[in-house]
Amino acid sequence: MEYMVNAEDLKPGMYVSRLDRPWLESPFLFQGFILRDEAHVREVREVCEYVYVESIHTDPAINLPSIATAPAPRASDNSRWRNRLKKFTAERPPWRRHSVSISEELSTARKVHGDSSALMRTALDNARAGRGVDIKAARTAVEDLTQSVMRNPDALGWMSKLKDEHEYTYKHSLSVCILTLVFGRHMSLPEEELHQLGLGAFLHDIGKMKIPMEVLDKPAALTPEEFTEMKRHPEYGVEIVTASGKVPDTVRDIILSHHERMDGSGYPQGLGAELIRPMTHMVAICDTYDAIVSKRPYKKPVSAVRAVEILNRERGSLFDPWLVDQFIQCVGVYPVGTLVELNNGETGIVVSANREARLHPRVLILINQEGERLERPFVRDLATDQTEEGNERHHIAHALGEEARGLTTADLEKYMSEV
Ligand SMILES: [Fe+2]
Ligand SMILES: [Fe+2]
């Protein structure tokens, strides 16, 4: 249960689930953190008069009801959505940590990615030619993707970053599938559910194959008529898969409703939170994120860091805030493969996201402070690394666009496989 607690009454060990102000007006990266110590409590006091504390995640030695000023008002009146989400997020044993390293998984991930790319291309070509989709083959591909994500989610996550601007739909479909599996793993979903989630994400935009190419790849804004046609792709998708054989209900729902939004502003049905399923909403979040970070004929790619900011801005209106937080915790603020510049002027690539300290991943340093490419790149773990002076820690100054500083994606892939 959530309680409202005056900032003055906060104690280390309490789990802060919401603040008294919008997220972006606070310096905290997430609504949803345990107060570590008195210094952390003071940081919250400086910003908030009161916060909401969730009893389930709070140290049980703290008697919350006696401290709280009142039970928290409900975050929204979407009680049915809340109940559904609660059931969906019931305690599950976490998936074991990575069982193999990213470099060990990379060659398998490359093969699985290649095979599923080929399959996705065939599926989309068939759909465009009016033929059905081989659901059985899609299912096998998603199972292979799931196994790879289970062993190490960073390897495939990295492969799906390597996409070029052509053939957007198939690469996007595959990226959303991988991203959704990584998210589902983070949420400890059972394997059977991961398969359905992955298959839904894999096929979510299959209906776009009924949209004329000129509209699909138009390098400018769509006319209102074109936009109306584009918005029919979820229904077209359901038609395609229904004609192709038996598909699980979850998969059909993901295809039909991945553009529905919590506040009812989505399409095709304008469903409110009451009628949206959590798995479908997970795909909606991954779909939006991938669309933001992708290069398109009419827009430049946006950094993952900025995409996280955009998702955050929409939390509570378009997207469920809790699921957005979970997603961000899962991809990290700096996902694997992000090129970054450190405060000391070094440039490197994020090689593993530190899930506990999201701002402090491990970075493979490729270019030194003088701007020279290093012959022997080395890893800086920003969570533990200190500068020579021993005072200010090395940290990320900002994320760079892909292929910045003369580094190509081929260079980066080579470095990644050597980490
Ligand atoms: Fe879509
Ligand atoms: Fe999509």
List the CATH number of the domain containing 228.
Answer: 1.10.3210.10
Going from the Cα of 178 to the center of ligand 1, the distance in angstroms, rounded, reads 16
Residues 17 and 322: their CA atoms lie apart, in Å, by 9
Question: 180 in a domain, yes or no?
Answer: yes
* 3-12, 74-83, 389-398: the lowest-pLDDT one: 74-83
pLDDT at 83 over 90: no
Residue 382 in tokens: 């920003």
Q: Which ligand lies nearest to the CA atom of residue 174 in the structure? A: 2
Number of domains the chain contains: 3
Residue that wins the pLDDT comparison between 356 and 135: 135
Structure tokens at 27: 């310096």
86-186-61 Cα angle (round to 5): 60
Which pLDDT belongs to residue 103? 67
Instruction: Please indicate, yes or no, whether residues 121 and 10 belong to a single structural domain of this protein.
Output: no
Residue 160 forms part of a structural domain: yes
Digit-coded pLDDT (tens) for 5-50: 888 889 999 999 888 766 555 667 666 788 988 988 988 888 788 8
User: 161 or 36: which carries more pLDDT confidence?
Assistant: 36
The band of 162, judged by pLDDT with boundaries at 50, 70 and 90, is: low
Q: What are phi and psi of 394, to 5 degrees?
A: -65, 140
Rounded to an integer, the average pLDDT of 321-334 is 85
Is 417 a residue whose pLDDT tops 60? yes
Residues 244 and 168 in one domain: yes
**Is 355 found in the same domain as 257?**
no
Q: What angle do CA 241, 242, 248 make, to 5 degrees?
A: 80
Whole-number pLDDT of residue 166: 42
Are 133 and 230 part of one and the same domain? yes
Distance 223 CA to ligand 2 centre (A): 19
Q: Which of 291, 309, 331 is the last residue of a domain?
A: 331
Q: Give the pLDDT score at 279.
A: 95
Residues 132 and 260 in one domain: yes
Residue 79 lies inside a defined structural domain of this protein: no
* Res 75: pLDDT: 54
Report CA(210)–ligand 2 centroid distance (Å).
14
Report if residue 17 sits inside a domain. yes
In angstroms, the CA 216 to CA 218 distance is: 6
Asked if 314 and 391 sit in the same domain, the reply is: no
Whole-number Å distance, alpha carbon 374 to ligand 2 midpoint, is 39
The predicted pLDDT at position 361 comes to: 86
Name the CA dihedral angle for 156, 170, 161, 297, rounded to a multiple of 10 degrees.
180
How far apart are the C-alpha atoms of 19 and 25, rounded to whole Å?
Answer: 10
Per-residue confidence at 164, pLDDT binned at 50, 70, 90?
Answer: very low
Q: For residue 93, tell me if it sits in a domain.
A: no
pLDDT of the residue at 165: 40
Which of 284, 314, 331 is the last residue before a domain boundary? Answer: 331
Query: 368 and 244 in one domain?
Result: no
Query: Is there a domain that residue 388 lies in?
Result: yes
Assign 31 to helix, strand or coil. coil
Residues with CB under 5 A from ligand 2 (ion): 205, 287
Same domain, 168 and 315: yes
> pTM higher than 0.85 for the full model?
no
Q: Same structural domain for residues 318 and 365? A: no
State the average pLDDT over residues 168-188: 88
Boundaries of domain holding 218: 102-331
> Is residue 225, in this structure, part of any structural domain at all?
yes
For residues 175 and 408, what is the distance between their CA atoms, to the nearest angstrom?
20
Residue positions counted in the chain:
419
Residue 349 makes CB contacts below 8 A (sequence gap 6+) with 337, 338, 339, 340, 363, 364, 366, 407, 412, 415, 416
Ligand nearest to the CA of 290: 2
Average pLDDT score over residue span 69-82: 65
